[in-house]
Amino acid sequence: MKKTLLTLVLFFCCVGFSFASDLVEMKTSLGTIKIELYRDKAPISVDNFLQYVDNGFFDGTVFHRVIDKFMIQGGGFGQNLKRKPTAEPIKNEATNGLRNERGTLAMARTSVVDSGTSQFFINLIDNSFLNNSGTTSQTYGYAVFGKVVGGMDVVDKIGHSRTVRKNQLFQNLPEPLVVIESVKRMSH
């Protein structure tokens, strides 16, 4: 009986740990954002994001595209506005059932469906038109893989930043720059 009980306790502990969420803390020049990552629904995107986190890739990057009442995008450019070299693109997981709702974290991509690398965005409002609704490049959508669980006020503050148009690439660049100082895993 004791052995069976111990086995059950160990089983449920292991199950609990396997479903534990991944949490990251993003320190920005305007405050700290805490994000829960959804490994169960978007394992490829979460593993990709955490690889960049663990390598310190995001440290010193900027939010380079900020559009109030839409989203804030970062993860690709340093403070010198030079593009950082990335790993290979990943498979788009936009069919995972997660929706581009206020506070969710999603993979940025080009017009190519499976082109996401390091860039991500946080939705400032519900952006249902970014959800998967088909198989074409225009309808495939953007894969949600996490959600802000602390610091949404910071996200909104970034969203309200004054922006300038520098050139074709930087049409909604915050001025002054909003820097991602560090992104680190948090213990559960």
* Domains of the chain as residue ranges with CATH: 21-186 (2.40.100.10)
Of residues 147, 144, 112, the one with CA closest to residue 45: 144
Which position has the higher pLDDT, 5 or 75?
75
pLDDT at 185 over 60: yes
Q: What is the C-alpha separation between 87 and 68, in angstroms, rounded?
A: 29
pLDDT band at 187 (very low <50, low <70, confident <90, very high): confident
pTM: 0.89
Question: What pLDDT is stored for residue 20 in this prediction?
Answer: 46
Distance of CA 184 to the CA centre of its chain: 13
Q: Express each pLDDT in 41-56 by its tens digit.
A: 999 999 999 999 999 9
CB 122 within 8 A of CB 71: yes
Of residues 48, 39, 36, the one with CA closest to residue 104: 36
